[in-house]
Structure 1
Amino acid sequence: MRPTCTPVTPVSPTLAWSAGTVCPRWHDEHVTQEPVTAPVPVASAAAQPVASDRVWTIPNLLSFFRLAGVPLFVYLLLGPEADGWAIAILMVAGVTDWADGKLARMLNQSSRLGALLDPAADRLYILATLIAFVIRDVVPIWVVAVILGRDVLVGFSLLVLRRYGYQALQVNYVGKAATFNLLYAFPLLLLAVGTSGVAPFVAPLAYAFTAWGGVLYVLSGIAYVRQVFEIAAADSSHPMS
């Protein structure tokens, strides 16, 4: 008896679509993979948690709280140059960044708004911090140019996705690792350029986190753009009827 067909695993765990449906290859030499020609969006509720339209959830409140800290963080860096308080805000932002995703899964409070707020807060912190660091000569301007160029490229790819009727792809693991490294690099960079006795010891860690985070950030952007154009190419080759 021939096996029933099952959905293809997406090319990447970050893709929110599937290239089609195939039948699994058994030991029977007559059973072969038979891809369906048309790409279809993944819509299985069992495969992914269902995102709701709720606004006032605990994870969303944490994301709002994190966003509200961005202007205060920039003021502390550029106004009184209260680096200690700025570092404290970064640490709180890092904790809430971890907590909102964890709570969304634990409390079943995933939402469409949360899926937008979480990466938006991360991007704002990264961009605001880098601009403030350039003004204070903590990092060179080319670092901001590379990070900003990556985000512009990803933004363009999002427009391509919209054109083909797809939503934004989920943040991939490389992107999460990049954000983690950069958010931990920033307070270390402040300590490294300071006058405290720990500056010589944290400097190597600060530059390592910055370099590794920057490389991963660019690589995640390239992977994201590549996935978007793979989706667009497949959709153009197999138009939906």
Structure 2
Amino acid sequence: MPPSEPADQVPVPPPVSGRALNVPNAISIVRLTCLPLFLWLLFGRDNRAAAAGLLGALGATDWIDGYIARRWRQVTELGKVLDPVADRLLFFVGAVAILVDGSVPLWFAVAVLAREALVAGATLTLAALGARRIDVTWVGKAGTFGLMVAFPMFLASASTVSWRDVAEVLAYVAGIPGLVLSWYSAATYVPIARAALADGRAARHARIGSDP
């Protein structure tokens, strides 16, 4: 009988695959290629309902590529970059496009985009300073989910669908908590970022000290 593992053993992360072209990465690429279609539906065809449906579907598939990569051990270095880039780009482009269209309240869009710009700037700064990678917290994920529901609903509420009044209510029901959680998560990242920066510097100094 094999010995039991300690209860507090740290889980082993999925191995990194050397194959860049796999199912999770293909899903991320497909999601990115849908961006021009979304913009065409919204501005080229002036079809807010179809654009809202597509954006909602893209938001709903936010977790699929990452889940498949972990579940079937198809994690790649490309996927580690492609997945979050696709998520943030879809979110940012969608939010800006709906703001330009005038389907979302100005104060709401500005509050969301200001937070995105703040986090993006902090992320780039930390990376330049050598901080270790920071994982997204469940609060941040919950906030993003609420916002990904809110923006398509705002767009649908400005369309000709019969349930546009319901869509507007759903937009606020999902959007207000999502906005609060997203800003709260940004605040909670401050001590996490400090620790990540300290860890990154310590690791760099350790590497320098180990060099012959």
Instruction: Give the TM-score taking structure 2 as reference length.
Output: 0.79
Q: State which of 132, 147, 152 in structure 1 corresponds to 2:97.
A: 132
Whether the 8 Å contact between 2:104 and 2:151 is mirrored in structure 1 is no
Q: Which residue of 1 aligns with 2:71?
A: 106
Q: 1:73 to 1:221 in 2, by over 3 A?
A: same
Q: Which residue of 2 aligns with 1:210?
A: 175
Q: Which residue of 1 aligns with 2:59?
A: 94
Q: 1:105 to 1:160 in 2, by over 3 A?
A: same
Q: State which of 127, 132, 144 in structure 2 corresponds to 1:162.
A: 127
Counterpart residue type for residue 138 of structure 1: S
Q: Which residue of 1 aligns with 2:153?
A: 188
Counterpart residue type for residue 136 of structure 2: V
> Among the aligned pairs, what percent are the same residue?
34
Q: 1:87 to 1:163 in 2, by over 3 A?
A: closer
Q: 1:166 to 1:220 in 2, by over 3 A?
A: same
| Residue correspondences, number | 200
Bigger relative contact order (CA 8 A; separation at least 6): 2
Please say which structure displays the higher CA radius of gyration.
Answer: 1
Counterpart residue type for residue 146 of structure 1: A
Whether the 8 Å contact between 2:132 and 2:196 is mirrored in structure 1 is no
SS at match of 1:138: coil
Alignment of 1:8-47 (within 5 A): 46-47=11-12
Is the counterpart of residue 152 in structure 1 residue 117 in structure 2?
Answer: yes
Q: Which residue of 1 aligns with 2:191?
A: 226
Q: Which residue of 1 aligns with 2:3?
A: none
Q: Distance in 1 between matches of 2:201 and 2:131?
A: 13
SS at match of 2:56: helix
Query: How far has the Cα of 1:61 moved from its partner?
Result: 0.3
Counterpart residue type for residue 40 of structure 2: Y
Counterpart residue type for residue 122 of structure 2: S
CA RMSD of aligned residues (A): 2.8
Is the counterpart of residue 117 in structure 1 residue 53 in structure 2?
Answer: no
Counterpart residue type for residue 94 of structure 1: G
Is the counterpart of residue 176 in structure 1 residue 141 in structure 2?
Answer: yes
Query: How far has the Cα of 1:59 moved from its partner?
Result: 0.4
Query: Gapped runs of 5+ residues in structure 1?
Result: 1-5, 10-43
Q: Distance in 1 between matches of 2:113 and 2:142?
A: 18
Q: Distance in 2 between matches of 1:110 and 1:225?
A: 28
Q: Distance in 2 between matches of 1:234 and 1:60?
A: 29
Counterpart residue type for residue 186 of structure 2: G
Query: How far has the Cα of 1:141 moved from its partner?
Result: 3.1
Q: Which residue of 2 aligns with 1:79?
A: 44
Counterpart residue type for residue 86 of structure 1: A
Q: Distance in 2 between matches of 1:234 and 1:118?
A: 24
SS at match of 1:97: coil
Q: State which of 2, 8, 30 in structure 2 corresponds to 1:65.
A: 30
Whether the 8 Å contact between 2:131 and 2:198 is mirrored in structure 1 is no
SS at match of 1:76: helix
Q: Distance in 2 between matches of 1:150 and 1:61?
A: 29
Q: State which of 13, 16, 29 in structure 2 corresponds to 1:51.
A: 16
Q: 1:91 to 1:135 in 2, by over 3 A?
A: closer
Whether the 8 Å contact between 1:87 and 1:187 is mirrored in structure 2 is yes
Q: Distance in 2 between matches of 1:112 and 1:127?
A: 23
Q: Distance in 2 between matches of 1:146 and 1:76?
A: 25
Larger % of helix: which?
A: 2
